[in-house]
A and B are shown apart, each in its own frame.
Chain A
Amino acid sequence: MSGKLSNIELAYVATFGTLWGVSEITLGFTLHNLHVPFTGLIQTFIGTVIALITVKLTNKKRALIYTAMIAAVQKMLSFTTIKIFPFIGIMVSAAVGQSVISVLGINIISFVVAGALMCGWPFAQGLLFYFLAYSPRFLGIYQDFFNKIHLQNINIWTLVKVIFIIHFLIGAFAALLAWKISLSIKKRKQEEQHAQ
């Protein structure tokens, strides 16, 4: 499961990485311009599915970070200017998933944990950005807003936790989907080999 990637594994990484990159460039850009909420989550969901499928099909742990690297470089260079934030976003999210897969190996549990954490990252990145830009007190502004519209019962920290849980659940679903798709592809390939 370790060692250099063979030619066929590299081809898998390149193809699936490009697929992720193309989805980031085209769909991501459209969703972003349409101001669709949770664009980051939708894109990370797609990316997580693609990256985890690559890991399972190649049976190589490091395939995840390589696939993300392809997608991130394509996204970064996809316009006349260099966009660094999407690059960082994709790479950090992949690094989180990669560390889980590296420690726990390639199995359904590691996939679920990696998927959950990868999909949780876009929300965490947003929060981190607000923390750095407006200090931790920015959550108080939201709390004041809820109080003003007579929704005092809503605690902002509870809301943050609920959104995080939703992200984790969606990530876990992405991982399960990737696992099931990879098994189906492997089964179909075996059936084709037997038929030949």
Chain B
Amino acid sequence: MPNNYKALIVFVVIILLFVLDIKSSLVLTFATLCFLLFLEPKLVRFFMNPGFLIFAVVALGIPMLLSFSLKDLQGNLLVLSRGILITLLIYLYTKNFTSSSTYKKIKRFLPNELISLISVSSGTITVIQEKTFKEFSRIKSEKRSPFGHIVNFFYTFAKLSETISITSDKLNSQKIIVLTGKIHEGKTTFAAKIAKAASEAGIKVGGILAKAEINNGERVAYYAEDIKTRQTKKLITKENVKEYYDRFRACFFLKDGMEFALKCLSSEYLQDTDAIIIDEIGAMELEDRGYSKQLSTLLNSTIPIIILVIREQFIEDICQKYNITSTETVRVGENPETVVKIIKNNLK
């Protein structure tokens, strides 16, 4: 379930709490909390850490001790659960912080240095939340002085900063080359030539090519070729099949072929490559399907060169969707050696 929907559910519940009586509110809050903890299991660890439990006992216990009344206990319980729900709402909302419309409106007025700081920080929000949960759960298992725990907590974030810095240095130097042309103009053949020329020049190339099977002048199927090993598997068929991974217009994406292609594009598999070719990125990736996840991961990886095969009409939309700001565009028909030169220059 997308975070926006989860956030919306919590928001509606919070509104309802102001209308309902105490008992119904408590039941509703409890049900919502269970529902959210089921959807976000990581939160269970957060609410089970000793710090939070002590805080909850104090928040409930002190007013209770002062008044000795059951009604007050219910009231305090409600206030506490409402607080937790609002915290959850913020947690869910901050996950999508930079994509919010409010931020987009404000962005225009902010200086560039601050925008880059915010984008780094929003990228680290999830990591920070996860690390915080981990650190809290480690308190139970590791025997240290309270000061030792605090130092350890901040030390984790100091290390995280160093990792971010190294990654962003490498990310800044990532070169994206777009191979483009019209439909059936020979983009895959051109990409294959580049892969061959680059390999001959000693460049470690990975990725996949989508080679067509032509029958009576018509493209009836596509095969995914792993550039690293030259292994192939049938990826797309235009015949009607019962079992398939995904369907896009007349094309059926076969389960085996798609799993093979996704494995070939996984960052672990491509760890030691200098350049990767993805043939091809298009309408499906604009709908978050196809190689969308792999593409996002690779664009945030430290692989120095990424070559994307994109049909002319999709370049602008793809660049906008995946936040690709700088590219080198090469048209079908140009000399493959030109691309090899670009790759070599960027690897230096």
Contacts and interface: CB of A to CB of B under 8 A. Distances in A.
Given A7-B165, A184-B151, A15 B114 contact: no
A185 B80 CA distance: 35
A11 interface: yes
Interface in B71-92: 79-80, 82-84, 86-87, 90-91
Contacts of B165: 7-8, 10-11
Contacts of A100: none
Contacts of B151: 181, 184-185, 188
A53 interface: yes
Contacts of A26: 87, 90-91
B45 to A, nearest CB: 15
A34 B120 contact: no
A181 B154 contact: yes
B3 interface: no
A35 interface: yes
Nearest to A182: B154
Contact of A15 (B90, B103, B106, B157): B157
A34 B86 CA distance: 11
Interface in B120-176: 120-122, 124-125, 128-129, 132, 147, 150-151, 154-155, 157-158, 160-162, 164-165, 168-169
Interface residues of B, number: 44
Chain B interface main SS type: helix
A185 B168 contact: no
A2 to B, nearest CB: 16
A19 B168 CA distance: 19
Given A29-B90, A30-B87, A74-B94, A22 B158 contact: no
Contacts of B118: 70, 73-74
Interface in A21-36: 21-22, 25-27, 29-31, 33-36
B87 A29 contact: yes
Q: Which of B117, B124, B155: most chain A CB closer than 10 A?
A: B117
B124 A77 contact: no
Contact of B102 (A22, A77, A177, A181): A77
Contact of A19 (B83, B116, B128): B128
Interface of A: 7-8, 10-19, 21-22, 25-27, 29-31, 33-36, 53, 57, 66, 69-70, 73-74, 77-80, 82, 177, 180-181, 184-185, 188-189
18 contacts: A8-B165, A11-B120, A11-B164, A15-B164, A16-B161, A17-B121, A18-B122, A22-B132, A27-B87, A30-B84, A33-B83, A70-B121, A77-B97, A77-B100, A82-B106, A180-B147, A185-B158, A188-B155
Given A21-B121, A26-B87, 19 more contacts: A11-B164, A14-B117, A15-B160, A22-B129, A25-B90, A27-B87, A29-B90, A31-B83, A33-B79, A53-B154, A74-B94, A77-B103, A78-B90, A78-B97, A79-B90, A82-B102, A184-B151, A184-B155, A188-B151
